[in-house]
Structure 1
């Protein structure tokens, strides 16, 4: 197992926001069943999904919680030459009200339209708890990885406060981040997530993750990073940190 592959594998999971969920078919025993799902990462860094109770993949998970989530780099010309990650996991439905509320608060920032059909239909939050990962970073760069995910030290009130402050008072800084990184300007960008390694911006319905120059472990370090980036002439290359 290569520790050098852990960071790029995790960054791929952060950069993407949709993947192919494979479950074990209930109606066709022994066959895998694939479906496309959007996801964000929960406080533990695990994929969080919202799925309908009548969906085929939900029936499959209720019978057997074993599943996998395949995530690949978007818009790739050669899918075999770019990164992709398979997260083998045990799916767990959230039933505790506090956990559901926390999941909803986070998920709706990323996918605000989801709150409408969640309330109108029978949808539930499920978390995919990783068991092992298979990461391919391109030709010949193939790794089995165990500990890829990283807990978000800001998840909850601290993250919500920082995001609200940035969106309310520093829209110009967010627009500058978009300009520096060449992200689409099809709609105003809104910050929806902050973790120790970067931030998530939502532009329309698309989610984009931007890496901080250095790992941030406190809200003060996040503030310093955001100020630095707001004043930067070009987006700095993140420091190389293993793990």
Structure 2
């Protein structure tokens, strides 16, 4: 199993925020049913989706939770020459109130509009628990991977505190990150999430993941990385992330 492939597959899952969810059709047995869904990663690093109870893919998952999520590099000119990842998973609807609350806090930061329709229009959170991954990094770079996801050590109050602090007090630093990374600057960016390997910025309706120079295992290390980036003249070369 290639450590580089594991890192690239996980980074692709972090960099993107929407994919094609394929389920087993209930109304057309034997046929796969594809639909586009936004996602973010939960505390365990698994894709978290918010879907309507009346949607076809929801009815499909209720009958058969086996599914897949296809994620590809956005705006690729040649889709066969860039990375794409298929997450083969078992979907599970969240029912525990504490889990739903944690999912809500995280998901709303990535997709603020979802707060308006989650409770009011019978939407539920589902987590896609991976069984296996198929990663293609370009022509001939094909891998079956078993363990791609990585738990977020900051999920919960630590991450929420860091995000709220940065958005409230360090807008200038966030704008500097946007400029360093060459991201769109038409509207102010907001920090949406922090994990051990990087951070997510939300700019309008789009989400972007930016890697740290090296993995961070404590809030202090995250703070040091954010301060260093706020004074950097170029985005640092990223070291090899541990698989």
Q: How many residues end up aligned between the 2 structures? A: 243
Q: CA deviation at 1:99?
A: 0.2
Q: 1:203 matched to which residue of 2?
A: 203
Query: 1:44/1:97 Cα in 2 relative to 1: closer, same or farther (>3 Å)?
Result: same
**Could you state the TM-score of these two structures normalised by the residue count of structure 1?**
0.99
Q: Which residue of 2 aligns with 1:51?
A: 51
Give structure 2 stretches of 5+ with no counterpart: none
8 Å Cα contact 1:4-1:242 kept in structure 2 = no
Counterparts of 2:178 and 2:3, CA distance in 1: 31
Partner residue in 2 for 1:227: 227
Output the CA distance in 2 between the equivalents of 1:2 and 1:90.
Answer: 24
Q: Tell me which stretches of 4 or more aligned residues in structure 1 moved more than 2 Å.
A: none
Q: 1:237 corresponds to which residue?
A: 237
Deviation at 1:242, TM superposition (A): 4.0
Q: Does 2:66 align with 1:66?
A: yes
Aligned to 1:123: 123
Query: In 1, Cα distance between the equivalents of 2:104 and 2:28?
Result: 32
C-alpha displacement at 1:241, in angstroms?
A: 3.0
- Distance in 2 of aligned mates of 1:133 and 1:39: 17
Q: Distance in 2 between matches of 1:200 and 1:151?
A: 15
Alpha-carbon distance in 1 for matches of 2:240, 2:129: 27
Kindly provide the CA deviation profile for residues 103-155 of structure 1, in whole angstroms up to 9, marking residues without a partner as x. Answer: 00000000000011112201000000000000000111100000000000000
Classify the secondary structure of the residue corresponding to 2:226.
Answer: helix
* Residue aligned with 1:120, SS: coil
